[in-house]
A and B are shown apart, each in its own frame.
Chain A
Amino acid sequence: MLGSELSDLNIEISELVEKHGNGRQSLLPILQEIQKRHGHISGHAQQEVARLLDIHPVEVNGVVSFYAFLKTGIRAKYNIRLCKTISCELANKASIAKTLERELGIKFGEVTKDERYSLEYINCLGMCDQGPAMLINNEVYTSLTPHKVIEILDNLK
C-alpha cells in the first residue's frame, strides 16, 4: 500500500476510535466498521487499532480470526455467502450452490480473477423459514431458486 493510503487509513481509524472510545469494549464496533468500509481488516489496520486501544496486535488478530464476518484478507466486491445449515440444506441449497459455482466459474472458498465475486458458505442466517438463503455483502436474499439466483447475479452486473 502507498504511504498516503496508509496515513488515510490511520486517520480513519483514529476517527473511529474517537467515535467509539478507546476502551477494549470498543474493539468489535471499530473492527466491524472497518470491515464494512473496506471489506477486510488489514494487518496494518489491526496494528493501528491495537496501538490506539493499547492492546497487543496479536490480540486484535485473535479477535478478528474468531468471528466469521471479520476478514484479514482482501475480499471481492461482492462477497456471496450461502447458508449451508440444516433448513436451507433441506430446502435444496445444493441446487443453489451448483448454480452459483456454474455462473461465477469458481468453487466455494474462491474469488473470481477480477476480484468481483467471492463465494463461501456460512452457518445459519436465521432465515430457516425462507430457505435457501444467502448474503451478498450485508444484504439477505431468501427463498432462492436457481432461476432467481441468475437474476440476482444479473442485477449485480
Chain B
Amino acid sequence: MTDGNYVSRTPVSQQPLKIEQSSPHDIGGLVEIEINRKKFKVPFGMTILEACKLFDIHVPTLCHHEDLCIAGVCRICSVEVEGMRTLQAACSFPITQSMKIHTSSEKVRKSRRHILDLLLSEHYGECYSCVRNNNCELQKLAKEYGVDFYRFGHVKEPYYDIDKSSYSIVRDMNKCILCRRCVRTCIDLQEVGVLEALNRGYDTKITTFLDKPISEVICINCGQCINRCPTGALRTNDPSDIIWEAIDNPKKHVVIQTAPSPRAAIGEEFGLPAGNSLTRELNTALKMIGFDRVFDTNFTADLTIMEEGTELLNRLKAAIVDKDESVKLPQFTSCSPGWVKYCEHFYPDFLSHLSTAKSPQQMFGAVIKTFYAQEENIDPADIVTVALMPCSAKKFECNRPEMVDSGFKDVDFGLTTRELAQMIKEAGINLPDLPKSNFDEPFGEASGAGLIFGATGGVMEAALRSVYEIVTGRTVPFDNLVISPCRGMEGVREASVKLENVKNEWKFLEGVELKFMIAHGTANAKKVMEKLKKGELKDVHFVEIMGCPGGCLGGGGQPIPTSPEIRQKRAESIYKEEAELPIRKSHENPHVAYLYSKFLTEGPCGHLSHKLLHTTYTKRGNYIA
C-alpha cells in the first residue's frame, strides 16, 4: 500500500480494510461476487475498487491514490450494488459478503457524468494554458466521458489569487477539485501539516494555516503534494523561461549539472514505462538545447561522500579517542533539502547532528564558480549554474541566503525533471530517440556510488563503501559491493557493519560495530527523531534521511504519476545502471582526487572545503508568526 511502515493518523474507520498480500487464488476467506454479470472470487474485505483492478475492470478514480488512505470524497468511482438504495464508492466499500456489482449501468454512467460536470463547473482554467495539459486526471476523465459542453456552467473568472510566494511550490486553487490528496499527503504521508481543508460546505477550500502564503508557513518544499495532485492546482515554480534567456544570451556560460534521479525517470515524460534510464541520451539533449557544459552531479555526490565520510570519522575519533562530549552522534545526512528544512522546523535543537557537508547540488555550484571558473578562465559572474533535480525543495535550497560561498549565488536555478522535459519537448526533441553522449570534462564520469544517491539508502551505501575501505583497507564484505541492508523500501531500516583488522591510523575503531539507520519520507524521519529525542539512538553512528518516500527518485519534481511500483522501478533502473559502471566507490573517482590535489589541497574537511563545501543551519522552529 505505501512505502515502509508508515502509520496513518487517519481514524481507523477511514483506513482501508486491508487483507495482507491478497491473491485471488488464495484458498479460504474468499467471497464470491459478480461484477458486470461475471463471477469472481475475491478475498474477504477487499474493496470493490481493488477487486475491479485485480480483474482489469476499469473504474475511474480521482480522490483515490495508492500512497494515501481512503477518502471516498469525489464519488466518481460510484458503482451499483444490487439491492442497495444508493450507489457505493468503489474505493471505500469493502466486500464482506456476496454481492452483484455493476460498474457501468445507466445509473452509474449518468451519476458519474453529473459528478464530472459538477467538478468541471467549478474548475477554472483552460486546458491549453495549464502545466498539466495532457497529464491531468480531470481532463482525462472529461475525455473518457465525452464531455463536450458544460452542463452546469463554468467559472469565468478566477476566484483565488495564485500563491507564488514560495521558491518551490505554486498553488492555484482555482483548479482545485477538493480531492484532498494534498491534504492526506501533507498530514498523513509526510506529517508536515501545511495543507488542510478549511471552512465547510460550498466555501470549503484547501489552504494553509490562517490562509497564509505558503512561504510563511512550515512548508518543507518536498512537493509530494504536487506529485499527487490530479490537476494543475499545485505545481513547481518554473524557472525555465529565465534559463532559456540565459541560454540565448551569448555572454552567459550556462552550465547544467544533472542529478541521478531525473535520468532514471525522465523517459516517463516521453511515454516510456518507468524503469528506463536515459542518462546519456539526456546529455545529448542538454547540449542540443544549448547548455554550454553538462556535468554529472554524481561527481559532487562522490565529493559529498569524501567530506561527509571524513566528517563522520572525525566525529567518531573525537567521541571515542578524545571523549569529546560536545560531538554529536549519530551524524545525519544533509543532502535532502526537504529533510533539512523539516529538521530546522521540527527538531531545531538537534541540528548539530546534521552533517555540515552541503548537498551535492550546492557543492557543485560552489566548485563551478570557483575551481571550474579558474581552470577554464571564465569570469564566474558570467556563469549561470542550473541544477537538474528530481526535487522541488532544491529550488528553495539554492536560494538560501548562505549559499553564496563562491562569492556569487552558487546555484542559480533548480530545475525539475518535469520542467526540463518540457524544455526538451519545446526544442522539438524526442529524447528516447537521441544518440548517447558523455558528460563534459573536467568533471567527467563519476562513480556508481554517486549514482545510487537517487534511491533511499544510496547515500549510506556509498558512504559505507568508502568509509569501510578507508578504515580497513578492504572492500565492504558484501557481494559485488551491494550492501543489501541499505536497499529496499522499508520506511525505517537499520543495520551494522563490524570494523575489524583496521589500518593502524584507525586503531580506535577496531572492533567497533558501525551502526546505521535509513529513513525516507518525513513521517519516517519523525519516528527516528523521536527516538533520538528519547535518547534511544546512543549506539547509532550514522543516519541517512531523505525527505521524500523512496528517496530522490520519488522527489517532488519527478514525473507524475507516482506510486510504490513506479518508485520501485526507478530504483531498479538506478541499481542496474550502477552495477555496470567501471568505478563504483567515491574515493576512487579520479576527478575527485584531482580536485583535492589541485584545489582543495588540505583534503576533505580542510579549510577551503569548509568554506566552499560545508554550511550551517538555521533554527527555524515551528511557530507561524
Contacts and interface: CB of A to CB of B under 8 A. Distances in A.
Interface of A: 43, 46-47, 55-59, 61-62, 65-66, 72
26 contacts: A43-B209, A43-B624, A46-B209, A46-B210, A47-B623, A55-B193, A56-B192, A56-B196, A57-B209, A57-B624, A58-B187, A58-B193, A58-B208, A59-B187, A59-B193, A59-B196, A61-B198, A61-B210, A62-B196, A62-B197, A62-B198, A65-B199, A66-B198, A66-B199, A66-B200, A72-B210
B195 interface: yes
B404 interface: no
Nearest to B210: A43
B74 interface: no
Interface of B: 187, 192-200, 208-210, 217, 623-624
A58 B200 contact: no
A93 B198 CA distance: 30
Contacts of A46: 209-210
Contacts of A43: 209-210, 624
**By DSSP majority rule, is chain A's interface helix, strand, loop, or mixed?**
helix
B195 A65 contact: no
A55 B208 CA distance: 14
Contacts of A58: 187, 193-196, 208-209, 217
A59 B197 CA distance: 8
A34 B198 CA distance: 19
Contacts of B624: 43, 47, 57
A65 B200 contact: yes
A47 B624 CA distance: 8
Q: Which of A43, A59, A65 has the most CB of B within 10 A?
A: A65
A5 to B, nearest CB: 16
A134 to B, nearest CB: 22
A72 B198 CA distance: 12
Given A56-B196, A61-B198, A62-B197, 17 more contacts: A43-B209, A43-B624, A46-B209, A47-B209, A47-B624, A57-B193, A57-B624, A58-B194, A58-B196, A59-B187, A59-B193, A61-B196, A61-B210, A62-B196, A62-B198, A65-B198, A72-B210
Contacts of A66: 198-200
Contacts of B196: 56, 58-59, 61-62
Nearest to A72: B210
B187 to A, nearest CB: 6
A72 B187 CA distance: 22
Contacts of A47: 209, 623-624
A72 B195 CA distance: 18
A142 B199 CA distance: 29
Q: Which 5 A-B pairs have the closest CB atoms?
A: A56-B193, A62-B196, A58-B196, A65-B198, A58-B209
Contacts of B199: 65-66
A70 B210 CA distance: 14
Nearest to B198: A65
